[in-house]
Amino acid sequence: MASQRKPVVVVTGASKGIGLAVTKILLESLDAIVVAISRTRTPELVELLKTHTSTLFTIECSVTDATGFTQAIVLAQKTYQHIDGLILNAGVLEPLGRIDSADIDAWKSHFDVNFFSLLTALKATLPALRKSELGGKVVFVSSGAAVGGMAAWGAYNASKAAMNSLCRTLAQEEPDVVSVALRPGMVDTGMQEMLRSDGASQMKEQDYARFVDAHKNGKLVKPEDSGHVIAALAVKADKSLSGQFVSWDSEQCADYRRK
């Protein structure tokens, strides 16, 4: 008989934007226990904690602190005895700028957040994910930039492409863990605000205008929409998706979108 316990899902970058939306959906719509890892505890996350005292565990930690991040995951497993899902959402866009003027140290810092932290999380969670009788799941929050090449986004394009490659490799190495990289679309988050305020000086005019127009015309994706797909994949992704890079609004994800 299938276990009736709640799935335990670790979410990085859980204090705002997509991560906060995913955390709320997991708690309120998918009956999950959430371990929310973020650098800060925002007022919105604190409010969630007030109403989900037994099913939300918040840990303040930078994903670039490998020791602290690993300890946070170990603590989560000790607290709940299980980890069934991992949502790798924490990430940054900066630095923006052309390759010929790239700050190498800034690129290295970017990869510490967007790529090497993924390895830290996977090494710490894979033993539990392999043992999950609910079926371990890993959702990589990726981007269309992984397969694009927008000027001035060199670090982000490269780190998201590396993320997708890591997802494919993980699917080959861990056949009992479902690994999915998801494109969440152009989501209405702080990253979009930053692009509109700072992007004009770095990006091509037509690229910058695309983001400004999407906001002006109400075309940005709500965090709750693509967030629902991310949350649902973390608890019930089908094995047929393992290793794939899929868009939140694709036919492959139709069963995971909010009704």
> Residues with catalytic annotation?
142, 156, 160
Structure-token match 């690993």, residue found = 70
Q: What are residue 141's DSSP bridge partners?
A: 182
Are the C-beta atoms of residues 185 and 230 closer than 8 Å to each other? no
Strands (E), 118-216: 137-141, 178-183
Radius of gyration of the chain, Cα coordinates, nearest whole angstrom: 18
Residue 186, classed as helix, strand or coil, is coil
Rounded to an integer, what distance in angstroms lies between the CA atom of residue 117 and that of residue 62?
9
Task: Give backbone dihedrals phi and psi of 156, rounded to 5 degrees, phi first.
Answer: -65, -45
Q: Which two tokens stand for residue 208?
A: 């910058």
Confirm if 156 and 110 have CB atoms less than 8 A apart: yes
H/E element, 85: strand 85-88
Give 10-68 as a DSSP string: EEESTTSHHHHHHHHHHHHTS--EEEEEESS--HHHHHHHHH-TTTEEEEE--TT-HHH
C-alpha angle 156/162/166, rounded to 5°?
A: 145
Which of 95, 92, 97 shows the shortest CA–CA distance to 201? 97
